Structure 1
């Protein structure tokens, strides 16, 4: 049965099912394509990953198999040919046309947007054999998009492993701040038509520090945490500071500072000491963590800021949200110009000098920092190269995709930074030719600084939600303990050579699934979930028992940790109009 599209042909396989030929190559088995998909997807379906990326949809056999044999796995299918998609929808996928678990994209750009939305909890990739054999360039582009996103996930996973508990602890200490906090959505369009300077603390910032006072007369000054000190030493108080890092050492950039004229935009899990340096109101972006999201469900959504892995990505997205007509970046190096990591006299540079010894001088400290994440040379914005690393590559990809999508004109006023697609290098004179707008900018910022939340009413909501959430977490830990006892009995039976029945775990699993705190506790379980996933797909009874034990033990630990941190917050912090008598630092 020839298809109207050139190069596409549907034939009958020996089994009687349809098979697909594209450009003379069989995409499916000529004998039994349905059975082929069952075998190919069997192990994957047993593992039941959060998501699957299908590169090529074919007639839909693999996608239909995943949807039929799993209960939660999402399918993202890349297929550039609409005729092929229609064949799949009319064939094996006919019963899933309205399913929310499958999304089909047709361009690399659509795939870039779909992956963060649908695959952030992890995914497996399945390439349809033969589908892109005659289109290697298209396959290479999809491989690039997939690899870039997987790299971001790897870094996110490692970051979660390092900082997961810290994020939870900080958020619990910051709960009183949420009562008086305002969502960044309140800033949307507030500075429409103004130009902005995004100040980062890369080494090239030194080139323009003396020009910052002149820039400030013409532009909104948005500084990331590491650049606040250099701005002040240049005689410029930032209009807006963006601080999202949870670590104590990062908060040290604000040592002994009181920035009453600077608006703070932060994340609910930033280090608690950060907020001491800024007058109210504090503006919060939406949390990407389940615990923070649960509080937004009772307080109202704060509003998202792009989280590309760097505070600079959040700052750029804030400029977009503000409605600025263009943004000039200074010190956004995303690399190590001349082997340096930060501008002169930044806290991190002083720290490197402070910890230096004769056997490990400051230059060696910087060298280790630069080479800790697979360093490589990349093009800079003046035709040369500079040292960068894998983390910075992810940030560059984020900027490139967001600039292309949002069309916010972005210019670099410093020389020697990493080249970023979509960022045009310009001379600082371009900024100096802009009209003086300081009085108008100051007027808008004064109006914004007068915004206030109903902190008393919000404080009551926070207190009530905290109490209920603690109770759910305590219950969840008890369920996990009972499940561990059940697994212990199963282990004993297996050791004595008796038949093992997994059905008693069903009741525990149902209780866990219905507990409102389950998603929150799971935040600290990702390492265990990733490590034991293969156990649930194993045919070995011992491995399945071990996987179950590890899962329930980790659930109990995560639930108790969350409950304990919330308990300490309730005991030590008074919810009085969004402020505290005792600072949680």
Structure 2
């Protein structure tokens, strides 16, 4: 058999789809497409566009040295960008133990050459490699989702990067964004997880009282929207807000509400997406009669009392909220981008805005300012100011603490921003790419330049035709929308059912904890443990099949991530201790959820009356 036939036979066993893919293209993928040569050590190398992708002297040794210098030693998953002829993958396999290797090669012809020139069966048969050949970078993220909690490192082969720079830049950016978002999500969960759930239990009755944003889907087709964020550049727009309201649907984030009302302009919609008490203060002494509130059940409860107008709910991002919605009425999801401005942009998209213009969307700190004048944030800074530490110093220290750097602004200059804002910029850029037909414009000169979002001026915005009469007609139509009938009884029934399921789950977890303590004792004494392990396996299987487990596990994600992210295989003693800790954490979570659900049940029954 030939080298290619041997490799294809191995692929048939372990990667049949990839094998079929190569065979289908074998007639067009010839060995003569690239220039091959033999290195001094006798190993093949290859030349693309006049550049060798492996050493002409010793490709194996030099690939080994490159990978050795790149390895962090902490990762559980390595993404290798560029397979070439497989030398770097061999080095990565040799230098790691049981880590997962994701091999990404965008060039099917190059991969075919490798299959023809080198015996790669040891790589194909190793059981630790996942191949992504001729595949979009986004597909890497789908694989990473299958391994939650694992630390990831990406290594891009230097010579192959020069060959397909755009592809590898995209791969690096997408993986980097994915890792950053996961880190932020876990950090946010650790900080706010229990607060989200407390707020949800207080607001659960709203699921039966308030319609969902899905009922607004495309209601405003053909009308432009103005997203009003609270960045410093909003100050230059506010004097013209009344004229802009004649032309645009005004969708304001909560932090911009106070500034709008100071101009005697009430936004059409107010978007709130923060569970904290301090965030609810943005609505203090902000009387609104006509504005429609867009939020979800994790918002601080007082917000729903402060905003007097019509309300619409978006779907919860959390297992408990999703469970209650699935058993009552799905409200409609807003894309999570980590910021209220990202939620507001997606809301504008959902309601059918023909264009989305953005004011105050700086995503940075022009002139070292953090918010527009008159926002609650700015007022709080002044309240906290001391004689020897003026308000300007508070803002600047907030920026320094966030890790400042400068990036290109819309006017071609440079604007300060930080790592958190970078995540929001990337989110917007992903949406611009995903919805190319929906045009978005930013009228913040000193705001961060967002790839795919056009820069325009206030003067151009004011040239838009007057649409207020048509907008008001649609708003009146929105005001007539009501939730589905009969939701109270469905909500009460779902809460009672969940409390019962969590009680059963508690019994299983409590039994598992008792067995783990017995297992620990028997292991230390050298007694027989097989029966205990068998019973624990049965309990674990019952927990996995138990309704409500995802809800109880929600606030355990950081704990579980820490367990999954352990680099070294735990000792038997550590495994037992981890099991004890897991059952203890699960029991505490169940107790916490049951307490909140009892409160939600009580509030819902009172509201029904």
Q: TM-score, normalised by structure 2?
A: 0.79
Distance 1:136 1:521, change over 3 A: same
Residue 146 of structure 1 is aligned with which of 162, 175, 182?
A: 175
Partner deviation per Cα, 1:211-246 (whole Å, 9 max, x = no partner): 000000011100001011111111211011111111
Identify the range of structure 1 (282-291 vs 326-335) with the bigger mean alpha-carbon deviation.
282-291
- Tell me, yes or no, if structure 1 residue 420 matches structure 2 residue 446: no
Distance 1:197 1:183, change over 3 A: same
Match of 2:64 in 1: none
What does 1:232-243 correspond to in 2, within 5 Å? 232-243=261-272
Distance 1:467 1:88, change over 3 A: farther
What is the CA-CA distance between 1:571 and the residue it aligns to?
2.8
Q: For the pair shown, which has the larger CA radius of gyration, 1 or 2?
A: 2
Residue 435 of structure 1 is aligned with which of 462, 465, 470?
A: 465
Take 2:112 and 2:330, find their aligned partners in 1: how far apart are those partners?
38
Distance 1:245 1:133, change over 3 A: closer
CA contact (8 A) 1:377 1:386 kept: yes
Q: Secondary structure at the match of 1:468?
A: helix
Match of 1:293 in 2: 322
- Tell me, yes or no, if structure 1 residue 366 matches structure 2 residue 392: no
Distance 1:531 1:279, change over 3 A: same
Take 1:553 and 1:22, find their aligned partners in 2: how far apart are those partners?
57
- Tell me, yes or no, if structure 1 residue 522 matches structure 2 residue 548: no
Take 1:449 and 1:383, find their aligned partners in 2: how far apart are those partners?
43
What is the CA-CA distance between 1:327 and the residue it aligns to?
1.4
What is the CA-CA distance between 1:263 and the residue it aligns to?
1.6
Residue 474 of structure 1 is aligned with which of 503, 525, 540?
A: 503
CA contact (8 A) 2:290 2:310 kept: no
Take 1:130 and 1:22, find their aligned partners in 2: how far apart are those partners?
14
What does 1:18-97 correspond to in 2, within 5 Å? 55=81, 78-82=104-108
Number of aligned residues: 541
Identify the range of structure 1 (328-337 vs 361-370) with the bigger mean alpha-carbon deviation.
361-370
- Tell me, yes or no, if structure 1 residue 356 matches structure 2 residue 382: no
Match of 1:35 in 2: none
Match of 1:411 in 2: 441
Unaligned runs of 5+ in 1: 10-18, 31-42, 96-100
Match of 1:503 in 2: 534
Match of 2:246 in 1: 217
What does 1:237-256 correspond to in 2, within 5 Å? 237-256=266-285
Identify the range of structure 1 (378-387 vs 488-497) with the bigger mean alpha-carbon deviation.
488-497
Q: Secondary structure at the match of 1:472?
A: helix
What is the CA-CA distance between 1:269 and the residue it aligns to?
0.9
CA contact (8 A) 1:55 1:125 kept: no
Distance 1:537 1:460, change over 3 A: farther
Take 2:251 and 2:44, find their aligned partners in 1: how far apart are those partners?
55
Take 1:306 and 1:55, find their aligned partners in 2: how far apart are those partners?
29
What does 1:539-578 correspond to in 2, within 5 Å? 539-574=570-605, 576-577=607-608
What is the CA-CA distance between 1:310 and the residue it aligns to?
0.5
Residue 531 of structure 1 is aligned with which of 558, 562, 574?
A: 562
Distance 1:355 1:512, change over 3 A: same
Take 2:316 and 2:440, find their aligned partners in 1: how far apart are those partners?
26
CA contact (8 A) 2:81 2:157 kept: no
Distance 1:136 1:499, change over 3 A: farther
Take 1:88 and 1:174, find their aligned partners in 2: how far apart are those partners?
59
Partner deviation per Cα, 1:128-169 (whole Å, 9 max, x = no partner): 989946647243432222112211111111001000011111
Match of 1:459 in 2: 488
What is the CA-CA distance between 1:283 and the residue it aligns to?
1.7
Take 2:223 and 2:144, find their aligned partners in 1: how far apart are those partners?
31
Take 2:567 and 2:491, find their aligned partners in 1: how far apart are those partners?
38
Match of 2:480 in 1: 450
Identify the range of structure 1 (153-162 vs 295-304) with the bigger mean alpha-carbon deviation.
295-304
CA contact (8 A) 2:314 2:331 kept: yes
What is the CA-CA distance between 1:520 and the residue it aligns to?
1.0
CA contact (8 A) 1:183 1:301 kept: yes
- Tell me, yes or no, if structure 1 residue 180 matches structure 2 residue 209: yes
What is the CA-CA distance between 1:282 and the residue it aligns to?
2.3
Unaligned runs of 5+ in 2: 5-28, 37-42, 61-72, 125-129
Q: CA RMSD of the aligned region, Å? A: 3.9
CA contact (8 A) 2:103 2:131 kept: yes
Distance 1:464 1:426, change over 3 A: same
Q: Secondary structure at the match of 1:182?
A: coil
CA contact (8 A) 1:487 1:548 kept: yes
Q: Secondary structure at the match of 2:361?
A: coil
Partner deviation per Cα, 1:267-309 (whole Å, 9 max, x = no partner): 2211111111334642222222111111221124322212111
Take 1:480 and 1:87, find their aligned partners in 2: how far apart are those partners?
54
